[in-house]
Chain A
Amino acid sequence: MSISQVIDLTLSAICITLVSIMNAIDIKGLIKTYKNGVKALNGINLEVKEGDFFALLGSNGAGKTTIISILTSIVTKTSGEVKVFGYDLDNETNLVKQSIGVVPQEFNISIFEKVQDIVINQAGYYGMPLKEATKQTEFILKKLDLWEKRDQISKNLSGGMKRRLMIARALVHNPRLLILDEPTAGVDVELRYGMWQYLNELNAQGTTILLTTHYLEEVEQLCKNAAIIKQGEIIKNDSVKNLVNSLDSETYIVNIEKMTTPLKLIDGFTVTNIGDDKLEIDIKKGQYMNSLVKQLDANGIQVINIQPKENRLEKLFLNILSK
């Protein structure tokens, strides 16, 4: 094989790779005005790549649920263009619906139906034959630790179980895009970590995930990219890493051995004494933790541990929203 052939093949491979990374969600100029006059979305533009784990952040009423509801055909858009995996929401609605699984914010399961029936029926609505639906339901309920509850009516499940049931229902038809509207609200810590692990697994297998949450720690743990929405407009859209790095300063709580001498000035750092054994220190972008620890040591202060005062993304989120 000649060098030119190798180059050609390499270029072809690159092109194929680039083309294959299509947008899972492509929204252009999306506007939604409700009948009561409330303008929920004011010309949203949003792209989510296939395979992404994407977070949509914003305060209550910012427009997150409206975007999700439009994507899932529960709310009709006023204007704009919405595409899911290249399928147009207006003209290829069924293909869009077939691609999406959704876990809504509020419980919307029939309280009188059995757990197993809820999931089997959902598969049926997507045209999955009963035999296949039953098999798939067993797999997914076992995966989400609900198999033992399969014959119980959903009314008798705990909040966390209901939440997992809704995830099972959303996944039963193997959607390419999973939309989660605050999926871990009301879920205890242990279950939340279990759920995170499962969502990561799904994402690793190729499922694109769009998530809204109030737990910004969740975004840091799970998501690759995020958009912040305020009053129906996207005001920031970047990778989670870049968003966190864009912070000008971070505040840490330094737990120390009890101080015996008054605290001297520590060069370059803003230090507040918040107790005999606690310091609050602001570390600006470009400053190093090493320098801080060295100076504290030089002052005869023994550091026990250092922890962030607040979630970094939370700080960023509040900073952006307050602008």
Chain B
Amino acid sequence: MSPSKLFTTYKTIVRKEMIRIFRIWSQTLLPPVITQSLYFLIFGGFVGSRISGDFNGQKYIEFIVPGLVMMAVITASFSNVVGSFFGSKFQRNIEEILVSPTPNWIIIAGFITGGIVRGLLVGFIVFLVGYVFTGVTILHPLITLIFVFLTAVVFSLGGLINAIFATKFDDISIFPTFVLTPLTYLGGVFYSINQLPPAWQSISKINPIVYMIDGFRYGFSGRSDLNVGYSFVMLMLFTIGFWYIAWYLLKKGIGLKS
């Protein structure tokens, strides 16, 4: 296929994904905004106002803004791809793409673009809500953008891998419920890992979400628990690793071909 044809196939998948996101906006864009607003209100306002102490030189409500934005991005990008791809698998219209000459890397790029767009849109809306509550500002916009973008990529790829393996609807809720949510909550959304005992600090460093939230938080405040360069490298490694897994699964037809 020529580059222009490849670009057309990519645009086709992305267009389809965009139509889906905006057609069901009340399911794709609205719920995370309501949930995160409640977090701001309860943890930031009601409970947070009673939490004294210094959180990397910030008030508690300001400290949790990056974590809550990132939490929304992670959930939105993951659920967009897992829902869309598994939906296509379930209705078997994924065969429309599989019988066509669309290369596997375009399929991956197309579907994760949907996840990235939804993740970033939701993240931006949640950031605006956070801004209303806290007036928080961003110190390093480029670093913030890089971390939020790469996080959306990693979790879109994660959603794709989950959807490839899933054979029934239960399978697409097991990973978010039993893996993603605990890792996100324990990834430093509501606390600084420096406040944990040394043993828990070491355990926390196994959690990839710690690096994402910490790097993202650095973009906001210029302060972080971990080395930002190290967090960036970790995120890149996850991106490359997840991309390779997704590509390999599609190439082998695992979960898609008999």
Contacts and interface: CB of A to CB of B under 8 A. Distances in A.
A138 to B, nearest CB: 17
B9 A108 contact: no
Interface of A: 34-35, 69, 72-76, 93-95, 97-98, 100, 102, 104, 106, 108-113, 117-118, 121-122, 124-130, 169
Nearest to B20: A112
A122 B96 contact: yes
Contacts of A127: 1-2, 4-6, 8-9, 101
A69 B258 contact: yes
Interface residues of B, number: 32
A75 B258 contact: yes
B50 interface: no
B106 to A, nearest CB: 9
10 contacts: A73-B98, A76-B257, A108-B91, A109-B93, A110-B88, A112-B23, A113-B19, A121-B12, A125-B102, A126-B101
Interface string B65-76: 000000000000
B17 to A, nearest CB: 11
Given A94-B1, A104-B92, 13 more contacts: A74-B258, A76-B257, A100-B99, A109-B93, A110-B87, A110-B88, A113-B19, A117-B16, A125-B102, A126-B5, A126-B100, A127-B8, A169-B96
B97 interface: yes
Given A94-B1, A117-B19, A125 B97 contact: yes
B253 A76 contact: yes
Nearest to A98: B101
Contacts of A98: 101
A73 to B, nearest CB: 6
Interface of B: 1-2, 4-6, 8-9, 11-13, 15-16, 19-20, 23, 87-88, 91-93, 95-103, 253, 257-258
Nearest to B96: A122
Contacts of A117: 16, 19
B99 A110 contact: no
B257 A75 contact: yes
A94 B101 contact: yes
B93 A74 contact: no
Given A76-B257, A110-B88, A124 B99 contact: no
A243 to B, nearest CB: 30
Given A75-B257, A127-B6, A106 B92 contact: yes
Contacts of A111: 91
Nearest to A114: B19
B103 to A, nearest CB: 8
B95 A108 contact: yes
Contacts of B20: 112
B99 A102 contact: yes
Contact of B99 (A73, A95, A106): A73
A228 B188 CA distance: 65
Contacts of A128: 8
Contacts of B13: 125
A110 B91 contact: yes
A128 B107 CA distance: 16
A35 to B, nearest CB: 8
The 9 closest A-B pairs by CB, nearest first: A127-B5, A124-B12, A125-B100, A108-B92, A94-B101, A97-B101, A110-B93, A72-B99, A75-B258
A44 to B, nearest CB: 16
A74 B95 contact: yes
Contacts of B1: 94, 127
Nearest to A111: B91
B100 A97 contact: yes
A122 B97 CA distance: 8
Contacts of B103: 94
A117 B16 CA distance: 8
A108 B2 contact: no
A260 B200 CA distance: 105
